[in-house]
Amino acid sequence: MGATANMDRQRRDDAEAQAQQRKIVNRLRRAQGQLAAVITAVDAGADCRDVVIQLSAVSKALDRAGYAIIASAMRTCLADPTDDSVTLDELEKLFLTLA
């Protein structure tokens, strides 16, 4: 593969990584908004069922963000096996932490 092809692939990989990071940040911001709504509901003395439902949504949103972060790290590891910033064992531990 030529130098130009490598540079093109690197640019695509970087663009994909940035897009994935934006998606993760957006998920976290939505979760932050949901959590703010939970806090407001608790402060206002809202019905416990409503609070629990909202809290469940926050929890799921955070889980999805965590899985997206791990998936992104896995893509990086697969794209560049020589990159030792995160080992497969570490990825497995992180994944199991969310389970």
pLDDT of residue 74: 80
CATH of the domain at 10: 1.20.58.1000
pTM of the model: 0.73
Domain range for 20 is: 3-98
pLDDT of residue 56: 96
Nearest to 38 by CA among 47, 26, 29: 47
Q: Which helix (H) or strand (E) holds 30?
A: helix 3-43
pLDDT of residue 10: 75
Cβ-based neighbour number of residue 34 at 10 Å: 19
- Number of structural domains (the chain) is 1
pLDDT of residue 83: 72
pLDDT of residue 28: 95
User: For each of the chain's 99 residues, which pLDDT tens digit applies?
Assistant: 577 777 777 788 788 889 989 999 999 999 999 999 999 999 999 999 999 999 999 999 999 999 888 888 887 777 777 777 777 788 788 888 877
